[in-house]
Structure 1
Amino acid sequence: MSKREPPPVPERLPAPVADAHTHLDACGAATAADVAAIADRAEAAGVTRMVTVADDLAAARWAAEASTWDARVFAAVAIHPTRTKDFGPPEQSEVELLAAGERVVAVGETGLDYYWDFSPPEAQQEAFRWHIDLAKRLDKPLMIHDRDAHEDVLRILAEEGAPADVIFHCFSGDAEIARRCLDAGYVLSFAGTVTFRNAHALREAARLVPAGQYLVETDAPFLTPHPFRGRPNEPYCVAYTVAGLAELRGESVEEVAAAAEATAEQVFRLRGVTPE
């Protein structure tokens, strides 16, 4: 089967769940019809809501607008750490305006990325501190991108004082980092990587996270879960991650879906907000 062919839409989950982090624009969505089609496929698999996330200013504008097109779609707005080299007052003003939108449920993704060298660490850290302050001022959760930067991310959160809700998107740490995040009250969001059989440290971490402190996500179109690794990802594929996480934790698919959904409702403040 071709690596370019999307995975099949799986059987509907026994309980609804939200995709806590996706990039609908990068999945090929441009119009309201495109967004609705993606949301329809997701809903067929039991993925009834999703948060589309920005990584630059153009994506932030699009995500904020797209979140108004479909009741199943929300947005998160920030500047990705790899794009912070030229992040100054004009960009900050626009991000702040967009992030204040009613359908924007998080400030993200922000944080640190020491894998790529597109932006120097100093610029990334300065922008991260600014986004932390923005999340606190807007009283919205902070959605963190942390790649090869665990210690600095945790240090800066402690120095600045973390917002009430902090989400580690696509959590990539081991059990020790997970425990430190959990002790601080942070939420860990698991992407398709948790289903990869060679991700031993991550899978160990996922076993110890209690209900109430984990979410599930796709990070689509990237990180497609096993057994479809390398093929195009979309929000409906979070159902495969739920199934893999349930197997890993020795729990039922319904338990994991319900726990992740309850956390999404609490962290993103979606209680009482249902698709039309």
Structure 2
Amino acid sequence: MLIDAHCHLDFPDFAADRKAVFERARDAGVQRFVVPGTTRARFADVLALGRRDDVEVCLGLHPYFMDAHREADLEALAQRLDDHPELVAVGECGIDARFEATLDDQWRLFDAQLRLAKARRLPVVIHCVQANDKVAKRLRQLDLPAGGLLHAFAGSPEQARRFLDLGFTLGLGGAVTFERAKRLRRAVASLPDDGYALETDSPDMPLAGHQGERNEPARVAEVCHVVAELRGQSLDEVAANSTATARRLFRLEGR
């Protein structure tokens, strides 16, 4: 069994064929899905998906959508975390250093969400682009009790070890399928068996050979194949390790 540890199945990209997307995923061996929220406006759709037996959900305020966020959204997020004990994490939140004009506001929003997660002993799902070292430093300062997922990790073996030492899991997706991603591929080969969870970031983060196409959870099976090759392990071994790690991180035992 595979779990897609990060997919945005609430997005309008799937409105026309969401049922078929789930069916294709199941046919590929993907039987569970973790869907993170990105903006307050999408919270209701994420929570609605969470009513499915095969979907787990988390809520957060994503740094890519800074123009959509308002001060009151943090209070709304805190309230939903309290009202919905089924939520498995806070996120997607984080830092995207490509957008320098909003960086100060990103850090304030990120820090507030990390504190919400710490107070509730929930893991965090982190979007981190061109900011691995700074984010790792902040996570070390806060010492979050439940760790979290470094979604779409694309760093070095040294950066990977830093996050692992802080109790975080690395999300591996489409980026690992590109041969040019040599530094990331070295990191993937060096990870402990319990250090990663496979994901797609659907509808984004397309795999090699699928550029320009909508991504979907069925392709986590292709990610599994590449990770197995990089690690010199069998498909079954990588799938089992990733699934066990995702289940532990998001506390899915008994769900």
- TM-score w.r.t. length of structure 1: 0.86
Shift of 1:147: 0.2
d(CA) in 2 for partners of 1:214 and 1:141? 15
Label 1:244 to 1:44 Cα distance change in 2 as closer, same or farther (>3 A). Answer: same
Match of 1:237 in 2: 219
Instruction: For 2:94, give the aligned amino acid.
Output: G
Unmatched 5+ stretches in structure 1: 1-15
Gaps of 5+ in 2: none
| Counterpart residue identity of residue 61, structure 2 | I
After superposition, what is the alpha-carbon deviation per residue over 1:125-181, rounded to whole angstroms, capped at 9, x for unaligned?
A: 111111111112222211111001112211211222223222100001111111111
Equivalent residue number for residue 99 of structure 1: 81
**CA separation in 2, counterparts of 1:39 and 1:73?**
10
- In 2, the alpha carbon distance for the partners of 1:97 and 1:44 equals 37
1:123 counterpart = 2:105:
yes
Q: Which residue of 1 aligns with 2:8?
A: 23
1:51 aligns to 2:34 (yes or no): yes
Q: Which position in structure 2 is the counterpart of 1:220?
A: 202
Deviation string for 1:68-123 (max 9, x for gaps)? 1x211111210011334674542112112233423321111111111124x52211
CA contact (8 A) 2:57 2:88 kept: yes
Question: Which amino acid is 2:250 matched to?
Answer: F
Cα distance change of structure 1 residues 214 and 225 upon mapping to structure 2, 3 Å threshold? same
State the AA in 1 paired with 2:240: A
Question: How far apart, in 2, do the equivalents of 1:109 and 1:206 lie?
Answer: 22
Q: State the 1:226 CA deviation.
A: 2.8
Q: Distance in 2 between matches of 1:89 and 1:221?
A: 28
Conserved? CA contact 2:5–2:199, under 8 Å:
yes
Per-residue CA deviation, residues 24-71 of structure 1 (Å, 9 max, x unaligned), is: 13363349xx54432222111110000112211112221122211x21
Q: What one-letter code is carried by the residue in structure 2 that aligns with 1:20?
A: A
Aligned residues: 254
Identity of aligned residues (%): 35
1:133 equivalent in structure 2? 115
Point out the structure with the larger helix share.
Answer: 2
Contact 1:85–1:123 under 8 Å retained in 2: no
Matched, 1:109 2:75: no
Residues 84, 127 of structure 1: 8 Å contact kept: no
Q: Residue by residue, what CA displacement relative to the aligned partner does 1:219-250 show, whole Å, maximum 9, x if unpaired? A: 01112223323322101110000011101111
Matched, 1:148 2:148: no
- 2:22 is matched with 39
8 A contact 2:5–2:198 mirrored in 1: yes
TM-score, normalization: structure 2?
0.93
Residue pair 2:147, 2:166 contacting (<8 A) in 1 also: no
- Determine the structure 2 residue equivalent to 1:4: none
| Superposed CA RMSD | 1.8
Distance 1:30 1:229, change over 3 A: closer
Question: Cα–Cα, structure 1 residues 212 and 27, in superposed 2: closer, same or farther, change >3 Å?
Answer: farther
Instruction: State the distance in 2 between where 1:239 and 1:262 align.
Output: 16
> Which amino acid in the other structure matches residue 152 of structure 1?
K
